[in-house]
Amino acid sequence: MRIAEIYLGNLAYNIAQIRNNLRPGVKICAAVKADAYGHGAVRCAKTVIECGVEFLSVATVDEGIELREAGISHPILVLSLCDAEEMDALVKNNLTPLVGDVEYIDLIEKAAKKIFNSKSEKNSEGAISANQEKFIVHLAVDTGMGRIGCLPCDAKDLAKKIAASQFISLGGVCTHFASADETSKKYRDFAQSQVEKFSAAINSIRAEKIDAGIVHCSSSAALLDRPEWQFNMVRPGIILYGYNAGKITSEYLSQKGIKFDIKPVMALVTNVSALRHFTKGMSVSYGCTWTSDKETKIAVLPIGYADGLLCRSSPGIEVAINGKKYPVRGRVCMDQCMAEIGMKSDVKRFDRAVIFGPEESGALCTAQDLADAQGTIPYEILTCVSKRVKRVYL
Active site residues: 33, 286
Q: Kindly list the strands in the beta sheet with 296-301, ordered across the sheet, starting from the edge strand earlier in the chain.
A: 274-278, 296-301, 337-340, 324-329, 318-321, 352-356, 266-271, 2-6, 390-393
Give the pairing of strands 55-58 and 266-271: unpaired
Q: How many CB atoms lie within 10 A of CB 382?
A: 28
Classify residue 235 as exposed, middle or buried by CB count within 10 Å of its CB (0-12, 13-18, 19+).
buried
Distances (CA, A) of 323 to 10, 76, 248, 272, 358: 21, 41, 30, 14, 13
- 37, 382 contact by CB (below 8 A): yes
CB 105 within 8 A of CB 51: no
Look up residue 104 and give its DSSP letter: H
Nearest to 217 by CA among 247, 192, 195: 195
Element (H, E) at 64: helix 61-69
Tell me the CB-side half-sphere exposure of residue 112, using CA atoms within 13 A. 22
Looking at residue 179, the DSSP 8-state letter turns out to be S
81: three-class secondary structure by DSSP: coil
What is the identity of the amino acid at 178?
A: A
Q: Is 305 within 8 Å of 42 (Cβ atoms)? A: no
Residues forming beta bridges with residue 284, ordered by sequence position? 290
* Count of Cβ atoms closer than 10 Å to residue 217 Cβ: 27
Closest CA to 311 of 336, 283, 347, 291: 336
